[in-house]
Amino acid sequence: MAQNKKDEFSKRENELADFANAISHPARVAILKQIANRETCICGEIVEVLPLAQSTVSQHLKELLKAELIKGEIEGTKSCYCINWKTFEKFEKTFNEFFTKANSNNPGKQAKCC
Amino acid sequence: MAQNKKDEFSKRENELADFANAISHPARVAILKQIANRETCICGEIVEVLPLAQSTVSQHLKELLKAELIKGEIEGTKSCYCINWKTFEKFEKTFNEFFTKANSNNPGKQAKCC
DNA sequence: TTCTTTAATCGTATATTTGCGATATAATAT
DNA sequence: ATATTATATCGCAAATATACGATTAAAGAA
């Protein structure tokens, strides 16, 4: 990057980008899908299903935790993860605030040019 | 990456990830915001507002075009961009299909563990 | 205690992204 | 015809992300 310019953008812009970044890899989408469909999921079950090494899955889980898309709890030797719906709701709200302004000015969603 | 494993995931998973990837940088969120708020936007206006060099903005615009989040049209020496709402709608739909299954099983959105 | 299981972390190689200045291109103005 | 303006593209350097095997840590079983 030479320099990281992320500080120069607003908190809102960074929050949206961070959320999007967390789901910007198909492995993480697949992990979220597993957890969401089972409501709760043990790490080992995810590793079994994905075409990735255990250490790689662990790294992806760490990122999802960091972005607060999932919550985790250690149960003995196993780790149990579930979706943090609050973050999803917050994202949906922020996303809509950001990208529906033009829509409300322009009900048919037709751009003036192009 | 050593190896790129993206092929090993489903088309749906990759589509979601690609969309998210396009908005996973605050500069691109800021660009989309500019275009959405004005409904339409000339490249130069975006460059003026962002804390980035012209060539960098151009690169980000190229990525947004590739992901079909925006459409572009050349008008003389200037380039006019606007939001491609169709893609946003598609994303919203796919996103909801993916992440509301557990929700419907579990109306209170409370996880069983953690 | 010792062995096994489960998952996190470390170290490392490679790939990709980000950012910029310089250059190219193409339309418009002089 | 030449100069100017607007934007895209090229080439490069630095930063980040992705992936894996090896190692570590900690709980549970034998």
Q: Which CATH architecture has domain A10-100?
A: Orthogonal Bundle (1.10)
* Cβ neighbours around A74 below 10 Å, total: 10
DSSP code per residue over A14-47 = HHHHHHHHHT-SHHHHHHHHHHHHHSSEEHHHHH
Mean pLDDT of A43-69: 98
How far off is chain A from B58, nearest CA to CA, in Å?
16
Judge whether residue B27 contacts strand C, using its CB and a 7 Å cut-off: yes
Q: Return the closest nucleotide (C1') to the Cα of B54.
A: D7
Residue-wise pLDDT for B58-83, tens only, equals 999 999 999 999 999 999 999 999 99
Decide: A10 and B50 in contact? Cβ < 8 Å.
no
Instruction: Answer yes or no: CATH 1.10.10.10 is held by domain B10-94.
Output: yes
Taking an 8 Å cut-off on Cβ atoms, the answer to whether B26 and A17 are in contact is: yes
For residue B24 the two structure tokens come to 């996973």
Q: What is the pLDDT of residue A100?
A: 73
Residue B107 pLDDT grade (very low, low, confident, very high; cuts 50, 70, 90)? low
Taking an 8 Å cut-off on Cβ atoms, the answer to whether A16 and B28 are in contact is: no
Comparing CB atoms, the residue among B14, B28, B112 nearest residue A40 is B112
* Mean pLDDT lowest among A3-7, A17-21, A96-100, B64-68: A96-100
Judge whether residue A14 contacts strand C, using its CB and a 7 Å cut-off: no
Residue-wise pLDDT for B36-49, tens only, equals 998 889 999 999 99
d(CA A53, CA A81) in angstroms, rounded, equals 18
* Cβ neighbours around B104 below 10 Å, total: 7
* Cα-based distances in Å from B21 to A18, A56, A91, B69, B86: 10, 19, 15, 11, 17
The rounded Cα B96 to chain-centroid distance in angstroms is: 16
CA of B50 to C1' of C26 (A): 25
Residue-wise pLDDT for A78-96, tens only, equals 999 999 999 999 999 999 8
Q: Which residue has the higher pLDDT, B25 or A2?
A: B25
Q: What is the pLDDT of residue A109?
A: 52
Domain residue limits, chain B: 10-94
* Cα-based distances in Å from A72 to A68, B65, B67: 10, 37, 32
